[in-house]
């Protein structure tokens, strides 16, 4: 697959991804290392929490989204480097057994004034589950080199 | 340590955290699972990349930040639940051996209109390294229950 430069991007382009099944044990082990709160660690504690059941840490969902993105149709010369997010939210919990995939849409393309050899592509990145419900929505500004 | 409700928060409050040393092997294993790009996986490839050396995935930094936050002075009744980030960026790379800590500052407190038993606390969360350089800056909206 060819790697894309700034000149290849235009507003409205969309990119799909593969799929990833969320593992119950990995929800707990990720949380134990990085987000040790009861609703990410234990079914009984999760049942009586705001989540109503075991849910992945938002950072686990963000990390799984990155994995899907890196292996997605969105291939950028020099790598996928998110300089800045304008927005990041988790509208619905991610549950054990969920099947995630990512949908990306280009919403802005601009060349850098200070660094004329690169630019910024703004992408809305939506992670959905098997029922097409959004579980993570973000707007990312990705650094992209120019071809010329 | 007591858990805080919405009534306990006010603009300008600050919270510190413990410290966490960034492990070189964990940079690579995190990247292998979630962000398999050369500059997070391999010193030689990283040296000739935009990062100029091995750097942690931004999602690894975000996850380490969450770990420091969960164990920080900022203790919220019901847990630390980030509903939405208004901003998330990584001004400097995180390197093997860096010592990270987190500084949080309350910048807005408001009760929910639709759900009077809870509110939102907006917090600027800055992750710094041993040289006090910001490596991650975010603005998070945290769901906080009311006491009354």
ipTM summary value: 0.94
Which chain A residue is nearest to residue B39, measuring alpha carbons? A79
Contact between A70 and B35 using a beta-carbon 8 Å cutoff:
yes
Q: Report how far apart the first and last C-alpha atoms of chain A are (Å, whole number).
A: 20
SS3 A97: coil
| Euclidean distance between CA atoms B134 and B129, whole angstroms | 7
pTM of the full structure:
0.95
Contact between B35 and A62 using a beta-carbon 8 Å cutoff:
no
Contact between A88 and B89 using a beta-carbon 8 Å cutoff:
no
The strand pairing partners of A20, in sequence order, are: A100
Widest distance between CA atoms in chain B: 57
Q: Are A62 and A29 in contact (CB under 8 A)?
A: no
Q: Give B-chain residues touching A89 at CB under 8 angstroms.
A: 83-85
| Range with the poorest average pLDDT among B35-39, B112-116, B135-139 | B112-116
| Euclidean distance between CA atoms A46 and A104, whole angstroms | 31
CA distance B49 to chain A (A): 8
B46: part of which helix (H) or strand (E)?
helix B43-47
Is the pLDDT confidence value at A1 over 70?
no
Position B1 scores a pLDDT of: 57
SS in 3 state form for B55-86? CCCHHHHHHHHHHHHHCCCCCECCCCEEEEEE
Instruction: Name the burial class of residue A62, with classes exposed (0-12), middle (13-18) and buried (19+) by CB atoms within 10 angstroms of its CB.
Output: buried
Q: Rounded mean pLDDT of A55-61? A: 97
- Assign B146 a pLDDT band (cuts: 50, 70, 90): very high
Position A57 scores a pLDDT of: 97
């Amino acid at each position: 697959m060819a790697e894309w430069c700034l000149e290849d991007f235009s507003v409205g382009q969309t990119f799909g991804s593969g799929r990833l099944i969320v593992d119950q044990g990995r929800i707990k082990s990720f949380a134990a290392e990085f987000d040790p709160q009861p609703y990410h660690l234990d079914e009984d504690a999760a049942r009586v929490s705001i989540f109503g059941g075991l849910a992945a840490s938002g950072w686990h969902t963000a990390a799984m989204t990155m994995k899907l993105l890196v292996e997605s149709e969105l291939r950028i010369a020099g790598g996928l480097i998110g300089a800045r997010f304008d927005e990041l939210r988790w509208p619905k919990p991610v549950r054990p057994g969920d099947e995630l995939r990512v949908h990306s849409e280009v919403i802005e393309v601009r060349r850098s004034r200070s660094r004329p050899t690169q630019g910024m592509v703004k992408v809305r990145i939506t992670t959905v589950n098997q029922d097409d419900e959004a579980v993570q929505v973000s707007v990312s500004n990705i650094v992209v080199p120019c071809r010329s």
